[in-house]
Structure 1
Amino acid sequence: MFSIFNKKESFRIGEILQVDMHSHILPGIDDGAADVETSLRLIDGLIAMGYKKLIATPHIISDIHPNTPETIEAAKQLLQTELDKKGYTIPVSYAAEYMLDENFLPLLKAGDLLTFGNKIILVETMFLDLPPNLEEILFQLQTHGYQPLLAHPERYHYVDRNLTRLSLFRDRNCMFQCNALSFTGYYGKREQEIAYRLLDAGLIDFIGSDIHHDRHLEHLQHFTVSSKIARQLESLNYKNLELR
């Protein structure tokens, strides 16, 4: 069991991370910001939290959000026009959050994947189980020179409390990104516990907001965790800072 102190602390996590590398702030192309006005409201909130750079990562899911580099670029340009018009100076770039579904390997072989940093590619899986061809996908990513980064492993139901099923990813040099709100219990107690376990095990490479809407923003603005977790989060060697 985890020793969680009763005392709670609040702080602006953006001041620590500086770069948000997982967000859904581009307008109208997935289940994130529905329009430019919502995008600007979310961006205003992230700036107020201390973020200095934003990387949008819209979903690419073949049967739900079949985005392409072209649709994502168009949404980014629509947003950038408004940012420029209103005098925003915060850098906003984009990559994508790829679902490891049946359409992913064809995309990989076509060689048109959206990444950030040093060819880092953000990927996600279905919540209930691992892709049957996971080892082949990870092998192909490495063969093509990509650095896989698994989004929010704490939220997947197949991840056990001993984190043993994550060894399939680590054995292929996959990095892990946790959602900030997982540490507050926003997604549930189980997700919070797995996030704590990942933190204790030193397995967290990045922390992202995964912000989709105003409710996420409100909870991020009131980011509160125990004193113990606050100290651990403050001392973590985030790779977010490498993306400045």
Structure 2
Amino acid sequence: MLNFFSKKLYLRDLLEGFVDIHNHILPGIDDGAKNTEESIALIKRLKDLGIRQFIPTPHVMKDYYPNTDESIGDAYQILLEALTSTDLLSEITINPAAEYMLDDSFEDLLRKEDLFTLKKKYVLVELSYFQPPINLESIIFDIKVKGYIPVLAHPERYKYYHNNYNYYQRLKQLGCLFQLNLLSLSGHYGKEEKNIAYKLLSNELIDFTGTDTHHLKHIDKLSKTILPNKDSRNILLRSIKNTNSTFSVT
């Protein structure tokens, strides 16, 4: 019999002290926060969920967001200056990085070893939603040869792997770590993405998690996300704890 008095398992209850390694809170340089007002609004709402450490990861895409260390650093300084008029700076930590599209420009940056990493040698990378690069395995190999550790952002969102699930295992064998978008657990990106997200979790293929927050509606979704059962909660909690232990700066 269905127990109507059973306590709902909310995702938000797992986020106290979470280190958000994937978000777009830097102002005005990609499809995330448009200005410092939006940045601060996002930070306040994420802080309300328990998040105190942020690694902003603006897109680096040759044709859309040709960000560099300099443009990311400038946006970071603008945000820090805006935060000085609030009480937030004493309560949070922000250390910027980047989210790299695996395109030709990335290969140039890799050759120069000029990558803005999450921490130490961990580099956040993403693929096109239409198709992966034909030389994906070669790129991953080159990343590893250069001493970096590739962290693939939101693997659950690449539909071309949904019916080729074994390739996720192949990517792991190549040394690619996986970062799940917590938003996927809400069904925000679609039912398929949600199902694959939980399957990757249950198969213990997820190493890290992040919010991938771009705007306030994303945080609304995160705050309302209900986990299906205790097993899912416990598996997710392991990935959250691994994220925190790997990327915390405190």
Compute the TM-score of the two structures, normalised by the length of structure 1.
0.92
Structure 1 residues 235, 171: closer, same or farther in 2, change over 3 A?
A: closer
Structure 1 residues 234, 142: closer, same or farther in 2, change over 3 A?
A: closer
| Runs of 4+ with >4 A deviation | 5-8
Structure 1 contact 205–238 (Cα < 8 Å) conserved: no
Structure 1 residues 14, 47: closer, same or farther in 2, change over 3 A?
A: farther
- Number of aligned residue pairs: 240
Amino acid at match of 1:79: L
- In the alignment, the residues of structure 2 paired with residue 30 and residue 150 of structure 1 have an alpha-carbon distance, to the nearest angstrom, of 19
* Counterpart for residue 181 of structure 1: 183
* Counterpart for residue 23 of structure 2: 23
Structure 1 residues 176, 11: closer, same or farther in 2, change over 3 A?
A: closer
Partner deviation per Cα, 1:56-114 (whole Å, 9 max, x = no partner): 00000000000000000000000011112313220111110000012111111122100
- Specify the SS of the correspondent of 2:220: helix
Structure 1 residues 161, 193: closer, same or farther in 2, change over 3 A?
A: farther
Match runs of 1:1-244 below 5 Å? 8-12=8-12, 15=15, 18-88=18-88, 89=90, 90-161=92-163, 163-228=165-230, 229-236=232-239, 238-242=241-245, 243-244=247-248
Structure 2 contact 12–223 (Cα < 8 Å) conserved: yes
Partner deviation per Cα, 1:92-151 (whole Å, 9 max, x = no partner): 111100000121111111221000223100000011222111122111111110000000
**CA shift at 1:154, angstroms?**
0.2
Structure 1 contact 22–57 (Cα < 8 Å) conserved: yes
Q: How large is the Cα RMSD of the aligned pairs?
A: 1.9
- Specify the SS of the correspondent of 2:150: strand
- In the alignment, the residues of structure 1 paired with residue 97 and residue 116 of structure 2 have an alpha-carbon distance, to the nearest angstrom, of 5
Structure 2 contact 208–239 (Cα < 8 Å) conserved: no
- In the alignment, the residues of structure 2 paired with residue 237 and residue 220 of structure 1 have an alpha-carbon distance, to the nearest angstrom, of 14
Structure 1 contact 20–51 (Cα < 8 Å) conserved: yes
**CA shift at 1:27, angstroms?**
0.2
- Specify the SS of the correspondent of 1:86: coil
Q: Which runs of 5+ in 2 are unaligned?
A: none
- Specify the SS of the correspondent of 2:104: coil
- Specify the SS of the correspondent of 1:104: helix
**CA shift at 1:45, angstroms?**
0.7
- Specify the SS of the correspondent of 1:63: coil
Compute the TM-score of the two structures, normalised by the length of structure 2.
0.90
- In the alignment, the residues of structure 2 paired with residue 221 and residue 76 of structure 1 have an alpha-carbon distance, to the nearest angstrom, of 26
Deviates more, 1:106-115 or 1:25-34: 106-115
Structure 1 contact 207–238 (Cα < 8 Å) conserved: no
- In the alignment, the residues of structure 2 paired with residue 82 and residue 199 of structure 1 have an alpha-carbon distance, to the nearest angstrom, of 38
Q: Which runs of 5+ in 1 are unaligned?
A: none
